[in-house]
Amino acid sequence: GENVEQHPSTLSVQEGDSAVIKCTYSDSASNYFPWYKQELGKGPQLIIDIRSNVGEKKDQRIAVTLNKTAKHFSLHITETQPEDSAVYFCAATLNFNKFYFGSGTKLNVKP
């Protein structure tokens, strides 16, 4: 089955700086890659996603890039704010019926 690895496990940045979280996947057939944000005491919420026919997608301060050849994808957060502090998960799927998750990155944005 698919295996998704995520790095780093923790990330601390100063408010206003950029943050980058990287994931690699093993199954070249995977074709959909969502990112989830989990705030303290809450369930993960979908924040952005990308499909295999697209190389980059942006939504305001967050963007995701996909390199199919290298089988890795990344989440980029610019102009970080304290409310961006959370745990972020990447995931991959090839049929939308079952998702494989990375181990999570705890992002701390220092004011």
Which chain residues interact with another protein by CB under 8 A?
A: 6, 9, 32, 34, 36, 41-46, 49, 89, 91, 95-99, 101-104
Smallest gap from residue 109 Cβ to another protein (A): 20
The number of C-alpha atoms within 13 Å of 3 and in the hemisphere containing its C-beta is: 2
Which residues are within 8 A (CB) of 32 and not within 5 positions of it... i.e. 6 or more apart? 49, 50, 51, 52, 92, 93, 94, 96
- Residue 95's identity, in one-letter code, is N
Instruction: State the minimum distance, in angstroms, from the CB of residue 93 to another protein.
Output: 8
Nearer to another protein, 14 or 97 (CB): 97
81 or 103: whose CB is closer to another protein? 103
